[in-house]
Amino acid sequence: MREFQIAGRRVGDDTGSYVIAEIGHNHGGSLEKAEELFRAAAAAGAHAAKLQKRDNKSLFTKAMYDQPYTGRNSYGPTYGTHREALEFGRAEYAHLAKVAAEVGIDFFSTAFDRPSVDFLVELDLPAIKIASADVTNTPLLEYAAKTGKPLIVSTGGATMDEVRRAVETILPLNPQLALLQCTAVYPAAPSDLNLAVIETFRREFPDVVIGFSGHDLGPEAAFLAHAVGARVVEKHFTMDRTLPGTDHQFSLDPGQLAELVTGLERTRQALGSPVKQCSDTEAPAVRKMGKKIVAARDLPVGHVLTEEDLAYRSPGDGMKPYLSGLVVGRALLMPLRADDTVRIQDLADAADFLPLDEIPTADGLPAAAGTAGQGEPVMATEGVVVH
C-alpha cells in the first residue's frame, strides 16, 4: 500500500489530500509578511506552509548572478542582488518554525542545492521539497535522499524517462517519496495540466504517493487531481494576487486556499467507497420506490402460483421481483387478496430455496441490508443456484 509519512501525518490512497501552501518568495523578503502568510495558511486549513531555499552564489553562474535584472518584479539591480533580497537565513527560519508550531502547521522548504539541503537538515524541518528544475539533477536527488527526510519531488517539464530515473535514484535510498505531476507554465491553462499523468504515475510507481503541484488559476483542478489519485496538493499562496513578483498572479489568496481545503474534503467524501451497495441513507428511498411481489388477484389456499398471478408494486418492503422465478410453481399455504404481499411463509417449501440475506425482515429490507448477494450461494434441490 502506497503511503507517505510527514511530521507524524500519514498520507495514502485512503486519506484526504495533504495541502501545501507554497509561499515561496511571496513574502518579498519581509519576515513580517511571511509570518502573516503562515498564519493565514493555517487559518485556511492548509497542512503545510513552504518556502524556497537557495545558496545563490553557488547555485548560479557568475554571469547569471551579475546580469542586470530590472522591472516591476525586481528586488535588486542584478539577478543576484534580487535573489539575495528575497532569501531568508537561519534567524528567519527559526522564527517561522516557532510560528508554524504555534499555529499547528507543518513547515518545510524547497532545497535548490546541496548547501540548502544541509541548511534545512540542520534546522530539522520535517521534509525537503525538490523543484521541477531539479528532477534531472540526480546528484542533488541522491544527496537529499540520503538525509532520510521525506522528499516531495515536482516533475514539471520532465519526460517519463527522466521521472523514472529520478524515482530510481531516490527509492533505493529513501522510501519516503511523494511525486507530483506539475506543468512548468506560469500560469498554466487547463489544457497544460495533463492530470491524466497522475494515473500514469500511479500505475508506474505503485509504492509512491502521487500528488499535484498546480500553477493554474484557482482551486478547481486540484479537486479533479484528487479524484484521479493525487494525495498531495501544492498551490502557491499569497495575501494579494496583484503584488509585484512572478508568482503572485497564479497564487491562491486566503479565501481561495480555504476553498481548496474544503473542496478537497468534499471531493474525498463524494468519492466515497468503491463497493457498490445499498447504503443506509439510500434504504428509505429504495423501500418507497422499489417494487415487491404481490398477488395480482384474489388467490385461494393451495393455489399453485403462475407468472400471471404475480404483480410488482411499490413500496419495496417485500420480496424483490428478481425472486419471482422461485415463487412461481409454489403452492399457497394461505389465501391472498389482490395486492397482498407474497411472503415466504405463505409458500410451500419456499424458504429452502432462498439465501438468508434475501429474506425480508419486518421493515421490508433484507436481513443483511447492503450486502445482498455477497454470501455463499444456496443450492436449490432442483439445481437452481441463487446468488
Instruction: For 78-131, write each residue's pLDDT tens digit.
Output: 999 999 999 999 999 999 999 999 999 999 999 999 999 999 999 999 999 999
This prediction has a pTM of 0.85
pLDDT at 342 over 60: yes
Task: Say what the pLDDT of residue 385 is.
Answer: 32
Is the predicted pLDDT of residue 46 greater than 90, yes or no?
A: yes
Retrieve residue 284's grid coordinates.
Answer: 428509505
Q: Which of 221, 246, 271 is the last residue of a domain?
A: 271
Answer yes or no: do 107 and 231 share one domain.
yes
- As for how many domains the chain has, the answer is 2
Is residue 21 domain-shared with residue 88, that is, in the same domain?
yes
Q: Does residue 315 lie in a domain region?
A: yes
**In the prediction, which pLDDT does 345 show?**
87
Give the CATH number, domain containing residue 366.
3.90.1210.10
Same domain, 46 and 179: yes
- The CATH number of whichever domain residue 119 belongs to comes to 3.20.20.70
- C-alpha distances out from residue 133 to 92, 110, 230, 294, Å: 25, 11, 21, 70
**244 close to 190: Cβ distance less than 8 angstroms:** no
Each residue's pLDDT tens digit, 265-303: 999 999 998 899 999 999 999 999 999 999 999 999 999
Average of pLDDT values for 190-217?
Answer: 97
Domain presence at residue 108: yes
Do 295 and 230 belong together in one domain?
Answer: no
Given this model, what pLDDT does residue 41 score?
98
Which alpha helices (H) appear in the chain, and where do they start and end? Answer: 31-44, 56-59, 62-66, 79-86, 90-103, 114-122, 138-145, 160-170, 190-193, 196-204, 220-227, 254-271, 283-289, 324-327
Give the list of residues 6+ apart from residue 271 with CB closer than 8 angstroms, or none: 226, 227
Which residues are paired to 49 by β-bridges?
21, 107
What's the whole-number average pLDDT of the chain? 90
- Quote the pLDDT of residue 244: 84
Both 376 and 262 in one domain: the answer is: no
- The domain containing residue 157 runs over which residues? 3-271
- Same domain assignment for residues 230 and 299: no
